[in-house]
Amino acid sequence: MFGYSGELARLLSGLSVRVGDLLRVESGGRVYEGILMPRTGLGDQSCLVLKLPSGYNVGVRVGRETRITKVGEGEPWKRLPPPPSPPASSKPLVRLVGTGGTIASRVDYRTGGVHPAFSPEELYSLVPELAELARLETVEACSVFSEHMTPELWVRIAEKAAEGLNSGARGVVVAHGTDTMAYTASALSFMLRNLTGPVVLVGAQRSSDRPSTDAHLNLLSAVAVASLSDLGEVCVVMHASTEDDSCLIHRGTRVRKCHTSRRDAFVSINEGPLGVVRGREVRMLGEYRRRGEGRVEVDGRMEPRVLLLKVTPGMGADLLFSALELGYRGIVVEGTGLGHAPEALFPALREARERGVPVVMTSQCLWGRVNLNVYSTGRDLLGMGVIPAEDMLPEVAYVKLMWVLGRTREPEEVRKLMLQNLAGELSPRSPLTSHRPF
């Protein structure tokens, strides 16, 4: 019975319960109501898997104390349909790069958790409408949850993307877990030079076996941008709202995940989105770089020993001194307000300067621009050689500093590159409005 066996199977069968039915389960003082899900044969014999109304799955251990009530009958669970026939050869080629993560996850019915498992090929069979839009080729760059992503894997993804564009793909879609998607989007933005097509990161906040999944619309929209748009930048395409009808195109260096679970968690910060996708209609907004000619280059040299340090009231300098001792090569400070840090940190910031370790200032406000000219603390920091990162997000400054230090450690060169707009990550202040706050 879909993986249930032994005593539990007998119990369920005695209650006339089938996979797909709605159950109410009271166990250990908690009450769960959800749809009974199938379970692999290898799972814990006494564990029952429920899909909750939120779409999440939970594994509930069934013991003597557990009360199970059948609340409603449901659609029986179905297997995936087989992949559709391949699209016509006239469709543009789009490369789908797999990395693991939610858009490529399956439920582990043993624990009730979600694991990365679907290959890009399986994803393709999940959304047959993709065949009407593009010819897909699928490659795997890695297979990790996005929270375990590393700078080395960023390079691998960049290489797979460049390889795709250089061998005739009209665009590239990178399926990526949402946790660190924005960091990877930044990294690809700095690494990929002379883009001949869009590189679109896409993910899902709800895994594709859930009724509320955003995976299908997001993937379709991403492939639409990759195949139809003239964008020559790295971007993130995700739900525009909690409605399941449109997606936004965010610049890779301006986007941030701003909700743990909502489908519209991704937000462009300090500029509007690059465009909107509704079905197959891709509408670009504002300024963007067009796809170019020639060959895409990957400049993937990274200095991974960079620290992102969020400052807090009462913090001491000891940890920053430790970081310098440990050999960190660059520090991005997530300061308060316009870009300030507690006085207690000053000795360590001076020490950083003496060691030639650049310190870049951003703001934990996230929105707005740092400005070290307004308050005396800011001026003190400028005096210590701190580099004010304008309206760059802290996470983007972190990735950019890795990339910059991969090229040079010469302080003036680092400063120049950090303050230069390389991939839409910052807008310089104009002289006339040099102190304009927003």
State the catalytic residues: 102, 178-179, 257
Given candidates 73, 121, 129, 147, which one binds its own copies under the rule CB under 8 A?
A: 147
Judged by CB, which is closer to its own copies: 9, or 315? Answer: 315
Q: Where are the alpha helices (DSSP H) in 316-365?
A: 318-325, 346-354
How far is the C-alpha of 279 from the C-alpha of 292, rounded, in Å? 26
Least distance in angstroms from the C-beta of 283 to its own copies: 27
User: Who's near 256: CB < 8 A, 6+ residues apart?
Assistant: 182, 266, 267, 269, 366, 393, 395
**Can you say whether the dihedral through the CA atoms of 183, 186, 190, 194 is positive or negative?**
positive
> For residues 169 and 238, which CB has a smaller minimum distance to its own copies in the complex?
238
Q: Which one among 99, 180, 218, 229 touches its own copies, defined by CB under 8 A?
A: 180
Closest CB to its own copies among residues 28, 81: 28
Binding to its own copies (CB under 8 A) within 21-60 occurs at: 29-33, 52-56, 58
Kindly write out the interface string for residues 296-315 of this chain, putting x where it contacts its own copies by CB under 8 A and - elsewhere.
--------x--xxxxxxxxx
Give the H or E element holding residue 160: helix 151-166
Contact in structure between 21 and 2 (CB atoms under 8 Å) = no
DSSP code string of 190-219: HHEES-SS-EEEE--SS-TTSTT--HHHHH
The residues pairing with 95 across neighbouring beta strands, listed in sequence order, are 137, 172
Q: Of 37, 94, 104, 114, which lies in the binding site for its own copies, with binding defined by CB under 8 A?
A: 114
Identify which of 271, 309, 283, 318 has the alpha carbon closest to the alpha carbon of residue 424: 271
The CB-of-15 to its own copies minimum distance in angstroms stands at: 20
**Considering the rule CB under 8 A, would residue 367 count as an interface residue with its own copies?**
yes
- Residue count, binding to its own copies (CB under 8 A): 93
Task: Report the residue from 4, 109, 183, 288 that binds its own copies according to the rule CB under 8 A.
Answer: 183
Residue 205 engages its own copies in binding (rule: CB under 8 A): yes
| Identity of the residue, 123 or 309, whose beta carbon is nearer to its own copies in the bound complex | 309
Q: Which stretch binds its own copies (CB under 8 A): 41-49, 88-96, 113-121, 216-224?
A: 113-121
Taking CB under 8 A as the rule, does residue 71 contact its own copies?
no
Question: What single letter denotes the amino acid at residue 295?
Answer: R
Residues paired with residue 332 on neighbouring β-strands, in sequence order: 308, 360
Q: What is the full DSSP assignment across 41-59?
A: TTS-TTEEEEE-TTS-EEE
Q: Which span sits near its own copies by CB under 8 A: 227-235, 272-280, 290-298, 342-350?
A: 342-350
Q: What is the largest CA-CA distance in the chain?
A: 78
For the CB of residue 218, give the shortest distance to its own copies in the complex, in Å.
Answer: 16
149 is a site residue for its own copies (CB under 8 A): yes
